[in-house]
Chains A and B, each alone.
Chain A
């Protein structure tokens, strides 16, 4: 399967939704495209688009809620909602906000966006499932900058103490946060030792290698500990001028830059114009 072609298509759709809304945390969504694809389309996450509240589903919580477009795109691709809904992103009557909302969006388990909340929520859900002897898994994706929030480590202590091996923490290690490199701001070159010390079974993978992500997440965790998977990623992955530049945390391309986006993501004039018309409400 040509994964490059698929992930280019996903990034294109994410861009069109963002462009139609004239706002998004685009670079933060682009760094997790392969992870979200592996979760939703490579058999890692067992979900039921026909019944999003299916009690036997696995749970996914996007704690770094600002990467919402990567989640919405997979929910749309899996049939939780249609393309028009996806392209309604962040417009007045849409249920799809810049940060995911519960219960408005099918497939979204929890409102997130304020950093440092998702992992505690996920740990609570995993704890309840363990108590009930249920086999569903809980996955939570956090950002590496987000790990500066102390509540993340409170949640990890709890998850380790309770032996929540039904919980997987995915860490998007794109190395950037809004103002600078994570390491420059907090002086921590790698988070792996921290997750180990806090009692997690820890693995590191290339966060743009779908095979590697799938292999890592498909392996059964019998360690009796929560699992942390550190995904080495590139913020803004897929568009050369956006990659690894913190300046793209919260902005869209200007006129000249737009040509680079269109060229590298394979977007036609018509597709860009259509997205723009959604913004203006002319369709």
Chain B
């Protein structure tokens, strides 16, 4: 994903001198290459995310388009008030790339996880939130962020996400994207965990259960019409997210349907109001927290066979 980001950013930097890549000691080899070619368009703020956000807002006020690239947990948790007051309240044209979001920093533990960010960011007025699942989708999200006037947050993974889309893929901001057809149930998901959901869908298929998968790559503004269209009629619905089940996409979908008076049998799969446990590879941490393909498959099968369980 980092490579896809750097490549997408490179193309934008080349075209628009007002675009500035803002790092807080958070860059990769790709950023060093970019800085060599565009020394005036890359600035390292050092380890100071709060100032980075205030300064990005000031730069935007003076006509620049800062792309702030930092570990998601530090942007959202440490600097939430700076994001709120300096960027969103004043509707500044700042782009935020939350790197290593969800459980991507699997070896480091919960201080580096970003598993409540959607709950916090959905509540910020003026902010657009993209959750790309693959490198190709990230490329589209970066371009869309550049074209959007106002603040945008991109929730980016960094665990060697496999490409699930072909070259015809087009990122359409603000629209849900069905990625798998199915007739027995519908699974909404967002971000890197899409690959686990696709694997779970294949396991369900072996059991004779046909799952439709819908990719909610834009969490805000949410495609309410699209979601209501998906949720019409009887059926079982699931949300799967690398996030607390409180306040994430499951909550957002339930909110849309509740407000429209649509009764919905929705099972929210995610962290159950807890911080993630364990260390290891991303796959290890997903497994330990019941969020890998096998656990998703088991949970969905259980609901299909036994009906809804009363559980958050």
- Asked, given contacts A125-B61, A151-B50, whether A117 binds B55 with beta carbons under 8 Å apart, the answer is no
Tier of interface size on chain A: 20 to 34
Cβ-defined contact, A155 with B59, below 8 A: no
Give B40-69 interface residues, CB cut-off 8 Å to A: 40, 43, 45-46, 48, 50-64, 66
A134 CB to closest chain B CB (Å) equals 8
Q: Give the one of A111, A117, A120 with max B CB within 10 A.
A: A120
The answer to whether A242 has its CB under 8 Å from any CB of chain B is no
Q: How far is the CA of A127 from the CA of B63 in the complex (A)?
A: 11
Given A110-B61, A158-B45, A158-B46; A121-B54 close (CB under 8 Å) = yes
Question: Contact between A117 and B90 (Cβ–Cβ < 8 Å)?
Answer: no
In the complex, what residue of chain A is closest to B91 when comparing beta carbons? Answer: A103
B58 partner, pick from A103, A110, A111, beta carbons under 8 A = A110
CA distance A122 to B43 in the complex (A): 16
* B85 interface residue (CB < 8 Å to A): yes
Interface centre among B54, B81, B89 (most CB of A within 10 A): B54
List A110-135 residues whose CB lies under 8 Å from chain B. 110-111, 114, 116-129, 131-132
Q: How far is the CB of A164 from chain B (nearest CB, A)?
A: 10
Cβ 8 A contact of B90, one of A102, A120, A126, A151:
A102
Q: Does A189 contact B (CB under 8 A)?
A: no
Give the residue of A109, A151, A161 whose beta carbon is less than 8 angstroms from that of B61.
Answer: A109
- Note all chain B residues with C-beta closer than 8 A to A128: 58-59, 62-64
Best-buried of A116, A151, A162 by chain B (most CB within 10 Å): A151
Q: Are B82 and A124 in contact (CB under 8 A)?
A: no
Q: Which residues of chain B are near A121, meaning CB under 8 Å?
A: 54-55, 57-58, 61, 86
22 inter-chain pairs at a CB distance below 8 angstroms, sorted by A residue, are A102-B90, A103-B90, A110-B57, A110-B58, A111-B85, A111-B86, A111-B89, A111-B90, A120-B52, A120-B53, A120-B86, A121-B54, A121-B55, A124-B59, A124-B66, A125-B62, A131-B40, A151-B50, A154-B50, A157-B51, A158-B45, A161-B46
A162–B51 Cα distance when bound, in Å, is: 14
Q: CA of A118 to CA of B58 in the docked complex: distance in angstroms?
A: 9
How many A-B pairs with Cβ below 8 Å? 95
Q: Does A150 contact B (CB under 8 A)?
A: yes
Asked if A157 contacts B46 (CB within 8 A), the reply is yes
Q: Is the CB of B85 within 8 A of A124?
A: no
Residues on the B chain within 8 Å of A155, using CB:
51, 54-55
Is B63 touching A124 in the complex (CB atoms < 8 A)? Answer: no
**Please, which residue of chain B has its CB at the minimum distance from the CB of A116?**
B50
Shortest beta-carbon contacts, A-B, top 3? A124-B58, A120-B54, A124-B55
Q: Point out the residues of chain B lying under 8 angstroms from A154, CB to CB.
A: 45, 48, 50-51
Known: A110-B90, A154-B48. 15 other contacts (CB 8 A): A116-B50, A117-B54, A120-B54, A120-B55, A124-B60, A125-B61, A125-B62, A126-B58, A127-B58, A128-B62, A150-B50, A151-B48, A155-B55, A157-B48, A158-B55
Contacts of B50 in A (CB 8 A): 116, 120, 150-151, 154
Complex alpha-carbon distance, A110 and B63, angstroms: 14
Question: Contacts of A123 on B, CB cut-off 8 Å?
Answer: 51, 54-55, 58
Question: A127 touches which one: B59, B81, B82 (CB < 8 A)?
Answer: B59
> CB within 8 Å of B: which of A87-125?
102-103, 109-111, 114, 116-125
A163 CB to closest chain B CB (Å) equals: 13
CA distance A102 to B62 in the complex (A): 14
Q: How far is the CB of B138 from chain A (nearest CB, A)?
A: 26
Please give, as numbers and ranges, the residues of chain A lying within 8 Å of B48 by CB-CB distance: 151, 154, 157-158
B56 — which chain A residues lie within 8 A by C-beta?
124
CB pair A114 B51 closer than 8 Å: no
A122 touches B85 (CB 8 A): no
B46, A124: Cβ atoms under 8 Å?
A: no
Contact of B85 among A114, A127, A150 (CB under 8 A): A114
**A111 neighbours in B (Cβ, 8 Å):** 85-86, 89-90
Q: Nearest residue in B to A122 (C-beta to C-beta)?
A: B58
B85 contacts which chain A residues (CB < 8 A)?
111, 114, 117
Nearest CB in chain A: distance from B100 CB, A: 22
In the complex the two chains form, what is the Cα distance from A126 to B53 in whole Å? 15
The interface residues of chain A lying within 8 Å CB-to-CB of B66 are 124
Residues of A within 8 A of B82 (CB): 117, 120, 151
Query: Residues of A contacting B57 with CB < 8 Å?
Result: 110, 120-121, 124
CB closest chain-A residue, reference B49: A154
